[in-house]
Structure 1
Amino acid sequence: MFPQIYHFRWVSILAVLTLLGCSSSSQESVGSTASRPVGDTPANIKVAVQLNWYPEAEHGGIYQAVADGTYEKAGFDVDVRSGGRATPVAPELQLGRVQFAMANADDVVLFRREGMDIVAVMAVMQDSPRCILVREDSGVKDFGDLAGMTLQRQTGRLFLEYMRSKGILDQVQEVPYYNSVASMVADPKIAIQAYSFAEPLLAREQGMKVRTLMVSDLGWNPYSSVLITTGKLIREDPQLVASFVEATRDGWRNYLRDPKAGNAAILKANKHGMTPAALEFGSAELRPLAVPAGMDEADVGTMSLKRWQELVDQMEELEPGRPSVVKAEDCFTLDFL
């Protein structure tokens, strides 16, 4: 079973949605567009995008599209809203306060489990950046070597449930993680949850040689940096969704070619200690995750039913006995790619 915190988190979200009911969107130019003719995108239509974390390289294509004028050329006036540890991404979408948001693929499945009509319209990172970070002098070379280590992690994360299902954490002490590499720098027996394009640099800047154990190598590989919206907006204004997705894809293609403009915009928006070096490292490490070997840059954002079905099946296996309520084909659409 998932940790108690997982259950109460989603019950709380549903309670908020029930209390707020039919709150209207603050974006007057979106939500009354069902009659817009296909192909007609008004100039300066206001669109809000909710991030799932503080602005970082994983949001680079969105900031690039703002900074280099890609969104403006497509007729959009975009408000990018920073996220954080407790950002209510799905409720913001459901209540119409934002039109798009960022999430990971497993989040989408969780949202739909709770009855929220959330749909993925593009997925930037084909391979997950999720990893376990260890010091090179720890003696840990693969997941089987983690026995006897202390893992700093955030509770309620599905990748941890997957690792537990494989027995990897049976002999690992788990303690809270507070978004710092300090403990690992001080103690070679400490491992931390990480993203491959972020924490490794922080450790190296403090003189540590580190090794990343990619969770995707275990078979847990949900799409990351996924652009999501509501089924309602897709049904009422498919042209807006199509235009915004294409502009966002262009933003990501531009960012992957030359991230300078996007990184400058992220640096301005992030007030939580972001540095130019971190963004330079992040954007470089992110590229092979977004455009892995054998994939063309033109296909940035692509998704497949096979990958979504595999994820839904894995999540059901993690919680046997729970009714199967999510269909993989409902989690995403390729109509706008």
Structure 2
Amino acid sequence: MKTMEKTKLVASTTILAAVLTACGSNTGSSDEPVKITQTMSWFAQPEMGGHYAAVAGKIYEDAGLDVTLQQGGPQVSNVQLLASGKVQFAMANADEVVLARNEGIPIVTIFANLQTNPQNLIFHKDSGITKIEDLNGRKVYTATGFPFWQYLSYKYKLDKVQVQNYTGSLAGFSADKDSVTQGFATNEPYVLKGEGIDVDWFLNADLGYNPYGNVVITTEDMIKNHPDTVKKYLKATVEGWDYYYAHGDEVNKLINETNKDYSLDHLKSSQEITKDFVFGGDAETHGLGYMSEERWKTLVDEMKEAGMIKKDIPTSELYTNDFLPEK
């Protein structure tokens, strides 16, 4: 299964040049809808359901926006697409934003779809694993360049792990009950249960690494020159999340038409699990999409501690809540 977002930052000088030369061509005339393209973090799935719901329910359209949702995937660099001006909004993990800003790429997070990140490490129930340190000496299918693995392997001294290249396939993990694989709490457990494999997992957030997930990012230029469009887009997206949980069957049908790898039953299961990741945490008191300075500061500190970045990055460069609708 293809489940993990791919962190693919291209050469910073190339991207930075593209950002500086990209022009805002999405304003349209006063009597025409504003054309917007948003590239997603991966293939269509419930973790981004609010956006698809805003399309299905014509919420973007009613806000005067002509929105195209562009699927992500292993060969898609969202930061590059955003920086080059090919899309107005993109989706990423919060740690990808830190890495981009560390390279001087002026992108900003404007909305957090997932308050809790569903990234996890999955193991067979009868493997004897009871704590994260038990991964030492075992095969772990993971992408070594992913920030979550860099931090967790550093924090828990997982220096005896036999790292196996993660390709998106579960075949190796399924065949070896002593192995571990990266995944998403919203996806792989369902797939493996369907194959008759009992699993358990460590949620990375519970292990101390919890970057905001599926954040919406844009450029400093977009924020400066088209603030009203940014506000309209986020307001419609928030309304889309409410629409998704009121009209789940309708929206899941659209997601299924977009990504056939997810059956309708799978989508329904994933939607139920996703709900708390979206509506829980700070979103419960501050509204959907909200982000705290403390969370961003913790993430920067963790990434610096693990050697992923060398300098402190001001949180004011990483995110803003200024365009969120009032709760």
TM-score normalised by L of structure 1: 0.87
Question: Residue 15 in 1 paired to residue 4 in 2?
Answer: no
CA distance in 2, matches of 1:274, 1:290: 20
2:310 aligned with 1:335: no
Q: Distance in 2 between matches of 1:183 and 1:191?
A: 9
For residues 250 and 235 of structure 2, what CA distance do their matches in structure 1 show?
19
Q: In structure 2, do the counterparts of structure 1 residues 187 and 114 end up closer, same or farther at CA, with 3 Å as the change threshold?
A: same
Which residue of structure 2 lines up, in the alignment, with residue 268 of structure 1? 257
Mapped pair 1:49 → 2:38: yes
1:50·1:98 contact (CA, 8 Å) conserved in 2? Answer: yes
**1:138-191, CA deviations, whole angstroms, 9 ceiling, x for partnerless residues?**
111221222222100112001111112123422221111121222222210111
Q: For residue 162 of structure 2, what is the aligned residue in structure 1?
A: 173
Residue 303 (structure 1) aligns with: 291
Answer yes or no: is 1:148 the counterpart of 2:137. yes
Instruction: Tell whether the 8 Å contact from 1:65 to 1:262 is kept in structure 2 after alignment.
Output: no
Q: Is the CA contact 2:12–2:105 (under 8 Å) kept in the aligned structure 1?
A: no
Alignment of 1:1-337 (within 5 A): 10-12=9-11, 14-15=13-14, 18=17, 22=21, 24=23, 28-30=25-27, 43-271=32-260, 273-292=261-280, 296=284, 299-319=287-307, 322-324=310-312, 326-337=313-324
Paired amino acid for 1:279 = L
Structure 1 residues not aligned, in runs of 5+:
1-5, 34-40
Shift of 1:12: 3.2
The one-letter amino acid of 1:170's match is D
Query: Closer, same or farther in 2 for the Cα pair 1:182/1:15, shift >3 Å?
Result: same
Is the 8 Å Cα contact of residues 120 and 229 (structure 1) preserved in structure 2?
yes
CA distance in 2, matches of 1:89, 1:321: 20
Q: Is the 8 A contact 1:51 1:81 kept in 2?
A: yes
* Change in CA separation of 1:294 and 1:112 when aligned onto 2, cut-off 3 Å: closer
- 1:262-286 Cα deviation digits (max 9, x unpaired): 2211111125x22212211211111
* Superposed displacement of residue 298, structure 1: 7.4
* Matched residue type, 1:198: N
**8 Å CA contact 1:203, 1:210 repeated in 2:** yes
> Where in structure 2 are there 5+ consecutive unaligned residues?
1-5
- Give the direction of change, closer, same or farther, for the CA distance of 1:312–1:275 in structure 2 (3 Å limit): same
Count of residues in correspondence between the two structures: 319
Residue aligned with 1:217, SS: coil
Task: Give the distance between the partners of 2:33 and 2:18, measured in 1 at CA.
Answer: 32
Task: Report the RMSD for the aligned CA atoms in angstroms.
Answer: 2.4
